[in-house]
Amino acid sequence: MKTTDIEILIISALPPAMLDEFEQHFRVHKLWLHDNKTAYLAEHGQFIRGAVTRAASGISAEVINALPALEMISSFGVGLDAIDLDAAERRGIHVTNTPKVLNECVADTALALMLSVSRRICEADRYARAGAWLTSPFPAAMRMSGKICAIAGLGNIGYQVAKRAQGFGMAIHYYDPKPATEPGFTRFDTLTALAASCDFLVLTLPGGNKTRHIIDADVLGALGETGILINISRGSVVDTQALIHALADKRIYGAGLDVFEHEPEIPTELFAFDNVVLLPHIASNTTETRNDMANLTIDNIKGYFTDGSLKTPVIRSR
C-alpha cells in the first residue's frame, strides 16, 4: 500500500537518519518545531493518522484528542509512562514501543555504575587528573565481587543485570510480582526487606503513578550505610529528596543514577557528593542499540500502514 500520502506527527526531535526515513515514506509534521503547538494541531490535526514519539516525551491525552484520525502511535523507547495509554485505548489507537533491543546495553550500564560507585572510579579519575596521587595514595574502595545484588523489577532488563552480576560471583535477590524462572534467585515480598538484604539495589522498575517514589526513606534506610543504589529505570521511582538526605547523612554508601525525576534537570545537591555517579540518561545510548531501536520504531509504523502488522504492540492487561 502507498504510504506517501499518509500524514504522521513526530512529537519530539529524532536522529536525522530516522527523520529522513520517515520523510521518504510519509508526509511528516514536526510538532517540536512549533511554538504554538495547540494552534498547529488545530490546523493540521484532523489529517494525521500516525504519531511517533520518544519514551521520555510520550504523548498526552490532550494531543491524542487533538488528532481525531489517529490510528497508531510508535514510540522510540521502552517506557510507556509518558504515553496516555488510557486515552489511546479509549480510542482504539494502537501503541508500539521498542522492547528487548536495548536490554543488553542498559544492563551493561547498570554494571558500569555498580563498579563506578563501589570502586570509586570517577572519584579516582578526578583524583589522578588533579595530581593528588603525587602527594598521597587514593583511599581504599569497596569490593564488588561476591556481594549481593538485589534487583527491583525482574523483567527483561533485570534478568540481564542478574546474568552479568552472576559473572562477578554475586548472589541474586529480587522483588517482582512474578517468581523468577532462574534457579537460585531469592525472592522478597517488600522493597524494604529486599534493600535490607543486599549490598547493591538495582532499580529496573517501570515508571508511572504506581511506582512513583516507591524507593523512599524507609527503603534507603534499610539499604544502609554499606549499600549502593543504582537507578537505570525511571527517575520518578526514587524520592529524590529522601535520597539526598540519605547521602548527606551517610546512611547509604553511594548511588549511581542514569535517570532523574525532571530530566534533563539534575538536582544541584547531588553534584556535591563524590560517592554519586551521574549519567545523562545514556543507558541505551550506543550506536548499535539506537539503530536497532530506530529500525523497530520505523518498522512498526510502516508495517501498520502497509499491511496492518505491528512487530511490538503494547499489551495491556486489565
3-state secondary structure 32-53: HHCCCHHHHHHHHHHHEEEEEE
152-182 pLDDT tens trace: 999 999 999 999 999 999 999 999 999 998 8
Q: What residues make up the domain containing 34?
A: 7-101+287-307
Within this chain, do residues 111 and 71 fall inside the same structural domain, yes or no? no
Cis peptide preceding 267, ω within 30 of 0: no
Within this chain, do residues 205 and 65 fall inside the same structural domain, yes or no? no
Within this chain, do residues 120 and 164 fall inside the same structural domain, yes or no? yes
Residue 19 within a domain: yes
253-286 pLDDT tens trace: 999 999 999 999 999 999 999 999 999 999 999 9
Into how many domains does the chain fold?
2
Asked if residue 117 lies in contact with residue 149, where contact means CB atoms within 8 angstroms, the answer is: no
CA separation, residue 301 to residues 11, 157, 242, 275, 308 (Å)? 14, 25, 41, 43, 9
Nearest to 224 by CA among 247, 196, 183: 196
Residue 312 within a domain: no
Within this chain, do residues 206 and 301 fall inside the same structural domain, yes or no? no
- Residue 122 amino acid letter: C
CB-neighbour burial class of residue 311 (10 A; exposed 0-12, middle 13-18, buried 19+): middle
pLDDT value at 318 more than 70: no
Full-prediction pTM beyond 0.85?
yes
For the chain, give the mean pLDDT: 95
Residue 35 within a domain: yes
Active site residue ranges: 234, 263, 281
Within this chain, do residues 115 and 45 fall inside the same structural domain, yes or no? no
The C-alpha atoms of residue 92 and residue 85 are separated, in whole angstroms, by 10
Residue 318 within a domain: no
Within this chain, do residues 17 and 38 fall inside the same structural domain, yes or no? yes
User: Measured at the alpha carbon of residue 207, what is the angle toward residues 158 and 171, in degrees to the nearest 5?
Assistant: 20
Summarize the confidence of residues 95-110 as an average pLDDT. 96
